Amino acid sequence: MRPEHPIVLITGASSGFGAAMARLLASQGCHLALGARRVERVQALADELRKAHGIQAFAGAVDTRDTASVNAFVAAAASALGGLHVLVANAGLASGTYKMWETPDEDLEAMMRTNVEGVVKTIRAGLPHLRQAGWGHIFFIGSTAGHQPYEGGSVYCASKFGVKAMAHSLRLELNGEPIRVTSVDPGMAETEFSNVRMKDDSKAKAVYQGVTPLTAMDVAECVRWCLMLPDHVNIDEMLVKCLDQASVHKVHRRV
Ligand code: NDP
Ligand code: 8X3
């Protein structure tokens, strides 16, 4: 049965979508477990949200590439909050815009280990807590890059096609259990994503030039809406793009 105040674990809550989801879900009365490598950021956010909304908020360091780190974070969060109901496997990144044959091992490993392996590790550690609670919802954060490949995105696109495959498989595997599975798949959204990808702030800004991109809060609102629907309703996949982006390759720019 749905709890009055669901306990939501979010990876990658130090920035962008994860931090926006934390803010929005705290305002709805959810309790939160917030994780990222930049632990001082998630601690500050948890402090802010505890004070603003009177919720319980746990914050911890986690590197989702590392099994021991994920297991320790999830166990500490569940113990501090008395369980878990919702997992948002959000932590992820693109690293570079290389043609496939030019991709350095460092960037290849960062994307595949975080975007694919990190998602498995997060859900693997969290799922027993949802089963124990008898009510749950698991969110994947996919991308338009998991629907349409593009030049310079081969490895990132492969990782997000992987996310899509995992979301669809998990939906089948959990059929019959009281656990919903949703993949929210955004297009271009202005967060720290492009700063991380381009490793250059002016190149990151140029990505959004002349466009009104999605905001992190727009994506958080998609998660909130899917979560708040009645228990028998499962949004399997939500593809969301800004109005200016008709497809990966067709973006209207006012310049
Ligand atoms: P941000 O760069 O703003 O946030 C990424 C978050 O992931 C940060 O909190 C970062 O925290 C965390 N993170 C990265 N690597 C790790 C790791 N190894 N362990 C733990 N946390 C990690 O980007 P977004 O908010 O935009 O991205 C969130 C998700 O959305 C990603 O999966 C991304 O691929 C996806 N996405 C983004 C789109 C966009 O256009 N912005 C569109 C579609 C999907 P820290 O560095 O502190 O560890
Ligand atoms: C992020 C959106 O277009 O950079 O997933 O791949 S895009």
For residue 219, the model assigns a pLDDT of 99
For 90, phi and psi rounded to 5 degrees? Answer: -100, -30
Query: What pLDDT is recorded for position 252?
Result: 98
What pLDDT, on a 0 to 100 scale, did the predictor assign at position 255? Answer: 85
Question: Which ligand 2 atom is the nearest neighbour of the CA of 248?
Answer: 3
Q: How far is the CA of 255 from the centre of ligand 1 (A)?
A: 28
**Ligand 2: centre distance to CA 73 (Å):** 28
Q: Which of 20, 29, 62, 22 shows the shortest CA–CA distance to 46?
A: 22
Sheet containing strand 179-186, strands side by side:
57-61, 31-36, 7-11, 86-89, 136-141, 179-186, 237-240
Return the pLDDT at 61. 98
With a threshold of 0.85, does the pTM exceed it? yes
The pLDDT of residue 30 is 98
What is the rounded distance in angstroms from the CA atom of residue 222 to the CA atom of residue 164? 17
**How far apart (Å, rounded) are the C-alpha atoms in residues 35 and 37?**
7
**How many beta carbons lie within 10 A of that of residue 51, not counting itself?**
10
Say which ligand is closest to the CA of 218.
Answer: 1
User: Which residue puts its alpha carbon closest to atom 6 of ligand 2?
Assistant: 145
CB 219 within 8 A of CB 142: no
* Residue 1, pLDDT score: 85
Structure tokens, 218:
């727009």
Cα(104) to ligand 1 centroid in Å equals: 20
pLDDT of residue 159: 98
Does the domain formed by 7-251 have CATH 3.30.1490.20? no
Q: What is the mean pLDDT of each run of 10 residues along the chain (255 residues)?
A: 96 99 98 98 98 98 99 99 98 98 98 99 99 98 98 98 98 98 98 97 96 98 98 98 97 95
* Residue whose token pair is 């994780």: 35
**From the CA of 155, which ligand is nearest?**
2
Cα of 235 vs centre of ligand 1, distance in Å, is 22
Mutate to test the pocket of ligand 1, among 116, 122, 164, 191 (most ligand atoms within 8 A of CB): 191
- Can you name the residues that pair with 88 across neighbouring β-strands? 10, 139
CA 225 – CA 142 distance, rounded (Å): 17
What are the sequence ranges of the domains in the chain? Answer: 7-251
Is residue 213 within 8 Å of residue 191, measured between CB atoms? no
Nearest residue CA, atom 4 of ligand 2? 188
Residue 63 · residue 38 · CB < 8 Å: no
Q: Are 71 and 64 in contact (CB under 8 A)?
A: no
